[in-house]
Amino acid sequence: MDSIIDLLLQAYFYYSHFFIAGFLSFMIIFGWSKVQISQDDTLLTIGLTYIRRVLYGGVLSIAFAFPLVLHGVSYAFNQNTQVVFKIWFLIKESLLNHVPLILFSIVCPLFIRLLFVRFIHPYLSKLKRDLGVKQSADKQSDIRTLENRYKTKQFDPRQYYKEGYFFFGVDQDSQPIYLTDEEFKKNQLKILGPTQTGKGVIQGCLIDQAIRKGYTVFFIDNKPDDFIIDIMRESCVANGRASPIIMDLNGYGPGKYEPFLSGSDLEALSRVNYLFNLNPTGTNADFYKGAERKEMIQLIKRGLWDKRIRSLKRIFLSIDPHAEYSIDPSKVQNSINLLDELEFLPSLGARQDRGFSIERSIRENRVVYIRASMNNRLVQRIATIMMMDFVQTAMRIGKQEKHTYLCIDEAKFVISDVLADGLATVLSKGVNISIAYQSIKDLLNLPDKTLNAEAIKYAVETNAKITMVYQNNEKETKEWAANMSGTLIKTIKKSERTKTNSAGAEVWEGESSLGSIEENLITENDIQSFEPQVAGLFIPGKLSRILYTAWVPVQELRGMPLRPSSQPMQPMQPMQPMQPMQPIVNPASQAPNNITHESESDGQESQVTTGIPHTTEPEVTTTQNNTAQEPVQPPPINEEELNEWLNSLTDIDNNQPSRNNISSQNSESSLQNSTNVVRYVEL
């Protein structure tokens, strides 16, 4: 028995510290508590609970129960009462001899527990949450997940062209998006997006297809665009159509235009009122505008004006010899000032039947390129009148054999109430229009402040049903476009339960609740994430889709040809010093009633009747004489007859040289009269 007791005591001495170290490590890592098992416990928790029970029981047994039992056995056989104290002494000595091990069993588990609770457990919780089978795959829009999602796609649009359809672009799966020809003809289009986002890309694609289909095509270029004019030119060549008509309102390129010549008198009057800003605006200036408008009405009503812009100024200044209606220039001074400015535009004032005509272009099924301006206000007003002329012409001549497609870029610079209202009427006349502008607020900031911008914006948004919206950062535009795409119901996680552990880290408790939300099909985040040439396409009766567009390839960039230059002006000859004029008596006894001026420049003679009475007195003329001669004194001048003669010259036609415009060459001819009037003309 003593040997058995000694063997047990040696075991206490050599192995008790290992048990104590293991016990401390386990309890520090997995916790001291939790010895009861509940129904919600996981298998891991149940296993740890059983291990914890065994360890607690082992410690109690080694430290108290077993020494007491061994002490009782030893006392019963050997009457030894020191066994229990010897066991405790051996345990103490064992622990003191292995202090580093005991410290390591405390410090290392503390670090392991901190690492697990602070980092490993939250990661495992997140991994469990992400890999779990979810009841709903819907996710709410998140801008962080949209980066690089809508990247530009490169492709050749011509490979997707299809007979009877208009190709717009491809979707996210690179599948083509089409619209039938009939759907295209029966709808107006609007294209929204800032500069360099891709509006010109879709315009070039639609124009190319319209030319291929034999449509009459008009393109209004305000920026200007660098490629579309070449797309139009090459498309006309490829499809055997006449070269595009080019009308540059700035005057740098070819073309001349008469803004008032076409249409009825009422249509011309509406354009006149717009150009000269004569429409009433509800201010005190309406009184003066009414007086000026009345003069315009009389000119058109009486047929005194040929509706050409160059002749209007002559009528205003009352220097037209054929004028039958007298105009007070002070009443039309604003119009005169504007006409003075318009003289700087060489694109205005075409010759008879030789200028650009919208009606003739539509009837002849032509392709037309019109360049306006984003900076020149005069050019913008003329371009706006041209758009008014287009709508009025389309309504007047009716539906033609070939459909007409009008494409307007940067429409805010040329839009008017006539064009906005025309969006609702020209479809029945075989005309559809696409207008491009930057944002919905763009139409509220029109250059012409006399227009009702709100009404124009409403008319455009209502009547232009097919919409393309490119990348935009403006809040109102993004919200408007997102709402236009419609809504859908998504089932998402409304809430999840988490708790903070002892190390300050959040872990998922495995509980979540689902809920339903309403979200736009194309969200504001989507629109903000579009790269160039990517847009949202909104077609009535169809689901909104993401549209990817691409340029129509151009073989050669020629641009717009320049206006043919006129012959250069000859340099002015230096002025010769003036010589004194000597009066000499003309021996002729009779003076004609007509004065003849011969122009050295063209060799033609122009007869001007003076109306001065003829007398038989000798005539005195002047010739250049370098020799000294005694001057002949002229007789006294009858001032009353001279004034009557001068007043008669005001009725001379503007094409004849007037008294104020007689050139130095014409002044060599003598002025003969019956009263022996002597005139000294300096060369």
* Of residues 278, 277, 571, 222, the one with CA closest to residue 410: 222
Report how far Cα 491 is from the mean position of its chain's Cα atoms.
Answer: 37
Rounded-to-10 torsion of CA 658, 660, 666, 672: 80
What element of type H or E holds 534? strand 534-538
Q: How confident is the model at residue 229 (pLDDT cuts 50, 70, 90)?
A: very high
**SS in 3 state form for 452-471?**
CHHHHHHHHHHHCCEEEEEC
Give me 232's structure tokens.
């139009």
Only one residue has tokens 């160039």, namely: 532
Only one residue has tokens 């509406």, namely: 270
pLDDT (tens digit, 9 = 90+) per residue, 547-560? 999 999 999 999 99
| Pairwise CA distance, residues 683 & 49, whole Å | 128
Is the separation of the CB atoms in 527 and 472 below 8 Å? yes
| Pairwise CA distance, residues 8 & 2, whole Å | 10
Radius of gyration of the chain (CA): 50
pLDDT at 324: 60
Give me 372's structure tokens.
């306006």
pLDDT at 637: 52
Is the separation of the CB atoms in 209 and 162 below 8 Å? no
Q: What is the DSSP letter of 16?
A: H
pLDDT at 635 over 60: no
pLDDT (tens digit, 9 = 90+) per residue, 95-130? 777 788 888 888 888 888 888 888 888 888 888 777
Is the separation of the CB atoms in 195 and 395 below 8 Å? no
* Of residues 630, 643, 631, the one with CA closest to residue 675: 643
- Give every CB contact of residue 641 below 8 A, 6+ residues apart in sequence: 612, 613, 675
| Pairwise CA distance, residues 24 & 30, whole Å | 10
pLDDT (tens digit, 9 = 90+) per residue, 255-299? 999 999 999 999 999 999 999 988 888 888 888 888 888 888 888
What element of type H or E holds 606? strand 605-609
Q: What is the DSSP letter of 631?
A: P
Is the separation of the CB atoms in 447 and 377 below 8 Å? yes
Cα angle for residues 642, 645, 650 (degrees, 5° grid): 135
pLDDT at 287: 84
Report how far Cα 629 is from the mean position of its chain's Cα atoms.
Answer: 80
Least confident of 204-208, 258-262, 644-648: 644-648
In words, the CATH class of domain 135-257+358-459+540-563 is alpha beta
Helix 333-342 vs helix 377-397: angle between axes, to the nearest 10 degrees?
Answer: 100
When the pLDDT of each residue in the chain is averaged and rounded to a whole number, the result is 79
The mean per-residue pLDDT over the stretch 228-240 comes to 96
| Pairwise CA distance, residues 282 & 677, whole Å | 59
| Pairwise CA distance, residues 181 & 164, whole Å | 6
| Pairwise CA distance, residues 51 & 589, whole Å | 152
Higher per-residue confidence, 3 vs 109: 109
* Of residues 326, 225, 239, 236, the one with CA closest to residue 559: 225
| Pairwise CA distance, residues 343 & 336, whole Å | 11
**Identity (one letter) of the amino acid at 306?**
D
Helix 377-397 vs helix 265-275: angle between axes, to the nearest 10 degrees?
Answer: 160
191 DSSP β-pair partners: 436, 468
The mean per-residue pLDDT over the stretch 341-347 comes to 91
pLDDT (tens digit, 9 = 90+) per residue, 364-413? 999 999 999 999 999 999 999 999 999 999 999 999 999 999 999 999 99
* Of residues 12, 22, 3, the one with CA closest to residue 97: 12
pLDDT at 653 over 80: no
Least confident of 13-17, 285-289, 320-324: 320-324
pLDDT at 378: 93
| Pairwise CA distance, residues 288 & 277, whole Å | 11
pLDDT at 639: 54
What element of type H or E holds 488? strand 487-500
| Pairwise CA distance, residues 383 & 247, whole Å | 11
Only one residue has tokens 């003809």, namely: 185
Only one residue has tokens 């997140």, namely: 126
pLDDT at 495 over 80: no
The mean per-residue pLDDT over the stretch 72-92 comes to 65
| Pairwise CA distance, residues 204 & 225, whole Å | 10
pLDDT (tens digit, 9 = 90+) per residue, 34-51? 777 887 778 888 888 888
- Give every CB contact of residue 160 below 8 A, 6+ residues apart in sequence: 167, 170, 176
| Pairwise CA distance, residues 298 & 227, whole Å | 46
Is the separation of the CB atoms in 142 and 148 below 8 Å? no
Is the separation of the CB atoms in 125 and 499 below 8 Å? no
Only one residue has tokens 């000032």, namely: 337
pTM tops 0.75, yes or no: no
Rounded-to-10 torsion of CA 162, 434, 539, 486: 150
Higher per-residue confidence, 9 vs 534: 534
pLDDT at 36: 79
pLDDT (tens digit, 9 = 90+) per residue, 470-487? 999 899 999 999 999 999
- Give every CB contact of residue 547 below 8 A, 6+ residues apart in sequence: 168, 169, 170, 171, 177, 202, 468, 534, 535, 536, 537
pLDDT (tens digit, 9 = 90+) per residue, 422-447? 999 999 999 999 999 999 999 999 98
| Pairwise CA distance, residues 501 & 343, whole Å | 84
